[in-house]
Structure 1
Amino acid sequence: MLLLSDPGKTLLPKIEFFLSKVGVSSSDLTRILTLSPLLLVRSLENHLIPCYNFLKSVLVVDEKVITTLKRSQLSFLFDVTNNMVPNIALLREFGVPESAISFLVTNFPGTAFIKHAKFVKAVHEVKEMGFDPLKLVFVLAIQVILKMKKPMWESKLEVYKRWGWSKDVALLAFRRYPNCVLLSEEKITKTMDFLVHKMGRPSADIAKNPSVLGLSLEKRIIPRCSVVQVLLAKDLIKNKFSSATLLLPSEKCFLEKFVIKFQANVPQLLDVYQGKIDLLDVGIQSEKTRLS
């Protein structure tokens, strides 16, 4: 159908629309159309323009519309009238802030455009699970619920059960960090094994701060825990902080609080953090410095 189109009458106006009206760069548009050439088949007047107008009304600025288009080319192919419009209206009925709606559309456009019946079911399910519509986590939970099938949900509950979490504890963790049920079993197991067995963190502590499970074990958790093991072994800090206090702050904050502050006492501390030297190189037996 695309090959039969008249370039001057049908294709060029659509290309000009994306370049001038939406503000997509020529390089980005080339990539977008390569990935989704069907955009050029859609009616400009009956589909592309109405879709853009509605996205602009939700996202306000063209930059976010462009981000949405780049993130999911399907965002301009979806059924706006029958799905996205009522989906957004439903969120507003529940009192979801415009900032959270904008976040959902920009970061998870597929969720915002999903069939309305499925969206309604997910929204009500999330509300019944105790999520607050006024908080961003509400829309995060919606997109997770829409990705999950019952067998997958139950299998993740079993994984957490092996680490001592009851169903109620797992649900509490889910309310705090919905993505905890999207993590692979391998990722959950490796991170829990390190934090519980090697670092001595109580499983319940991790359930209270489940977002630590989504952090990179090699790039974030192990380097930070190695630094703290050195500081504990040398009695430079007291063992009175949670996993969240250690693992969630930005790298800048962590370096200032745990590395730069103590470099005069332990010159090798930055090398420990960067993985250039082992704990044994600074005379530390890791099993003696569990965070328990």
Structure 2
Amino acid sequence: MLRLRSSIVTHLLYSPATSPSSSVQRLLSAAAPRIPPSPGFAVDYLVENCGLTRPQALKASTKISHLKSPCKPDAVLAFLSGLGFSTADVAVLVAKDPKFLCTRVETTVGPNVVELTALGFSQTEIASLVSLIPASFRRRSIVSNVPYYLSLLGSYENLLRVLKNSSTLLFVSLEKVVKPNVAFLRECGLDHCDIAKLCISWPRLISTNLERVHAAVACAESIGVPRGSRMFRQALRAVSFLSKEKVTAQVDYLKNTLGWSDAEVGIAVSKLPMLLVRSKGILHILSEFLISEVGLEPAYIAHRPALLTYSLEGRLRPRYCVIKFLKENGLLSRDRSFFPAVTVTERVFMEKYIIPHDEAAPNLAEDYAAACKGEVPARFIFA
């Protein structure tokens, strides 16, 4: 049966003498058995033919309870098999979108696949798209906007990343919505690469109405990050779809929690706009550690806001313990700054702060590794 199914896509994609509709219709009419349904037809079919567990099948069956014949689902499974779907792949897709089994292959899925193939997509790439946005493939047609997004985003991989965050993007009007938004972002000084990165991380920015994009730009400028500046893209990403009230509340929280003045908040946010969406709980914990335990001044942190982006247990505390241990034992100058030790890579940190002290502190590497796991070695307990 699987061999018979797999021949359908091959026939559809590579037979120039026949149209997708006619070839699929002819093959399906021969392949699909016309058997009368039993009362448990949907559940049994989902278990036996699609690889779902019975609980999954019971849940999914409510979406396809109107089916009275296996003709449509058989044709869909044949198509998926031809695209290289395994039984496990089919089970995942059907559990995600049971209605996909109700699709008319010859009028929706089939033509979409043919058009994607004509654009140069491989069978594997098409299969990945079907898995990612099966509901979209039930519509006709999803392909017309694809060339534009490939050009905008630069690669198939980036297109997949965008569709993971916004599965309906292919249906947004290019002329009325997307292109005007992209044109305005270019006017704001963002280049092609910047816009692509914004789309990947926050596709809603180009799929919303132009007025909201204008509002996001105005908000970015209001926090001290002007158009054309190095951090403008980051600021735009941070404030997109945040209300003025939420931005104001976060600014107030930064002032109250870190003891910053208005000027210091402006300095920190202009250097790291993503502070505006940082969790308040995390900011509180980090500020307590950096100010109360490490002894850093609020102004020092404001000029180095990256300190508020690192993991407390995974980086800040273990490295602080190493630095404090070295200073306490006269192995490091007392005026050595904490910030450089935090920002370097793990390899550089080991080369600069651990390895040179192998003889004087033979257990330092072991203690540091333990601290990174959340343990507190005795040598890292300071009076």
TM-score, normalised relative to structure 2: 0.65
Higher RCO (CA 8 Å, separation ≥ 6 residues): 1
1:239-258 deviation per Cα after TM superposition (whole angstroms, max 9, x unaligned):
44545312222222222221
Q: Secondary structure at the match of 2:143?
A: helix
1:203 aligns with 2:298: yes
Measured after TM superposition, the shift of residue 182 of structure 1 is 0.9
Structure 1 partner of 2:147: 53
Which runs of 5 or more structure 1 residues have no equivalent in the other structure?
288-292
Match of 1:11 among 109, 120, 132: 109
Number of residues of Structure 1 aligned to a counterpart in Structure 2: 279
Structure 1 partner of 2:261: 166
Q: CA RMSD in A?
A: 2.6
What CA distance in whole angstroms lies between the structure 2 residues aligned with 1:262 and 1:129?
45
Preserved CA contact (<8 Å) 1:56 1:65: yes
Structure 2 partner of 1:112: 206
Identity among equivalent positions (%) equals: 22
Measured after TM superposition, the shift of residue 58 of structure 1 is 1.6
Structure 2 counterparts to residues 179-218 of structure 1, below 5 A: 179-218=274-313
What CA distance in whole angstroms lies between the structure 1 residues aligned with 2:222 and 2:162?
29
Measured after TM superposition, the shift of residue 231 of structure 1 is 1.1
Structure 1 partner of 2:316: 221
Measured after TM superposition, the shift of residue 94 of structure 1 is 2.2
Measured after TM superposition, the shift of residue 84 of structure 1 is 1.9
Structure 1 partner of 2:175: 81
What CA distance in whole angstroms lies between the structure 1 residues aligned with 2:331 and 2:240?
47
Measured after TM superposition, the shift of residue 7 of structure 1 is 1.1
Q: 1:42 to 1:195 in 2, by over 3 A?
A: same
What CA distance in whole angstroms lies between the structure 1 residues aligned with 2:310 and 2:103?
49
Measured after TM superposition, the shift of residue 132 of structure 1 is 4.6
Q: Secondary structure at the match of 1:286?
A: coil
Q: 1:249 to 1:114 in 2, by over 3 A?
A: farther
1:45-101 deviation per Cα after TM superposition (whole angstroms, max 9, x unaligned):
xxx334222212222333322332234323324343322211111121122122211
What CA distance in whole angstroms lies between the structure 1 residues aligned with 2:200 and 2:310?
23
Identify the range of structure 1 (255-264 vs 216-225) with the bigger mean alpha-carbon deviation: 255-264
Measured after TM superposition, the shift of residue 135 of structure 1 is 4.6
What CA distance in whole angstroms lies between the structure 2 residues aligned with 1:43 and 1:65?
19
1:160-206 deviation per Cα after TM superposition (whole angstroms, max 9, x unaligned):
22221122221221111111121121100100100110111111111
1:25 aligns with 2:125: yes
Preserved CA contact (<8 Å) 1:209 1:243: no
What CA distance in whole angstroms lies between the structure 1 residues aligned with 2:160 and 2:246?
33
Q: Secondary structure at the match of 1:49?
A: coil
Measured after TM superposition, the shift of residue 211 of structure 1 is 2.1
Measured after TM superposition, the shift of residue 30 of structure 1 is 4.5
What CA distance in whole angstroms lies between the structure 2 residues aligned with 1:4 and 1:69?
23
Preserved CA contact (<8 Å) 1:205 1:242: no
Preserved CA contact (<8 Å) 1:22 1:66: no
Structure 1 partner of 2:225: 131
Measured after TM superposition, the shift of residue 238 of structure 1 is 1.8
Measured after TM superposition, the shift of residue 8 of structure 1 is 1.4
1:119-139 deviation per Cα after TM superposition (whole angstroms, max 9, x unaligned):
012113323544254455212
Identify the range of structure 1 (125-134 vs 265-274) with the bigger mean alpha-carbon deviation: 125-134
Task: Please say which structure displays the higher CA radius of gyration.
Answer: 2
Q: Secondary structure at the match of 2:362?
A: coil
Q: Secondary structure at the match of 1:58?
A: helix
TM-score, normalised relative to structure 1: 0.84
Preserved CA contact (<8 Å) 1:59 1:102: yes
